[in-house]
Each structure stands twice: as structure tokens, then as C-alpha cells.
Structure 1
Amino acid sequence: MAKHVIMVEGMSCDHCKHAVETAVQENKDVVKVEAFPAEDKVDVEVLNDAALEDVKQRIYDAGYDVKS
């Protein structure tokens, strides 16, 4: 398992937090996810680092810009 911090622009409220977390959790390799709108970041723990690109795409598809 590996922990990653993804910087995300556009999250501003609890609705944003929930939308991002829900989208990321749809990836079967995600063990844990927590979004922090005030800090523009998402902490994610995955079973396989290869899942990271899919996680970033899911955040983008939910309407948020991934900075890293």
C-alpha cells in the first residue's frame, strides 16, 4: 500500500469533499481517501500505485482540477 497527496483546485465546501471522495472510492484499489477543501488536497491510500492515474482522472471527471 502507498499513501499519496494529490493537490486539487476547485474544492470549496463539504459537497465538494463528498463528491471527490465518492468518485475516488469507486476505484477498487483505493483503501482510504480523505479530501481537505481548505487545503486543496486529497489524501489517498492505494493498494497499487498504478491506480493513481485513474484516481486523478476520477477527480477531474468529477469537475475538479488536479495540480499534481
Structure 2
Amino acid sequence: MSTAEYQVTGMTCGHCEMSVREEVGQIAGVDQIEVSAQTGRLVVTASAPLDDAAVLAAVDEAGYSAVRA
């Protein structure tokens, strides 16, 4: 199991959370995604080591910016 936390900027609502969740959920091996527009926090848990670049690219694809926390 691998867990990583990211700080996402630009999210303001539940729809934003859903967009991030959908994009990150497409990464192979991702088991669990916790995302909060209120705190800007994204926590990703995967069965294999997480590729930070893939997570950051997925958040970017959803229309937001992120950095590893």
C-alpha cells in the first residue's frame, strides 16, 4: 500500500472534487481517493507505489493545480 497527500488549488465545490476524483481514479492501482475542496487536500491510496507525475497530471487534466504535500 502506498499513500500520498497533495495540496490542490482552485477547487471550490463538490463538482470540483468529483472532477479530481474521476481523473485520479483512472490511474492504475489507485484504490482510494479522499478529496476536499474546503481544505484543498487530496489523499490517494494505491496498491502499488504511486507515480507523483501521474497524479499531478490527472489533477491538471481536471483543471486544477497540485503539489505533493
TM-score scaled by structure 1? 0.89
* 1:12-67 deviation per Cα after TM superposition (whole angstroms, max 9, x unaligned): 10000000001000012101001111101101002222433211111011110113
SS of the aligned residue for 1:27 comes to: coil
CA RMSD, 1 decimal = 1.2
Code of the aligned partner of 1:61: E
Query: 1:44-55, aligned counterparts within 5 Å?
Result: 44-55=44-55
Gaps of 5+ in 2: none
Gaps of 5+ in 1: none
Q: Could you tell me which residue of structure 2 aligns to residue 59 of structure 1?
A: 59
Q: How many residues align?
A: 68
TM-score scaled by structure 2? 0.88
Structure showing the higher helix proportion among its residues: 1
Check if 1:33 corresponds to 2:51: no
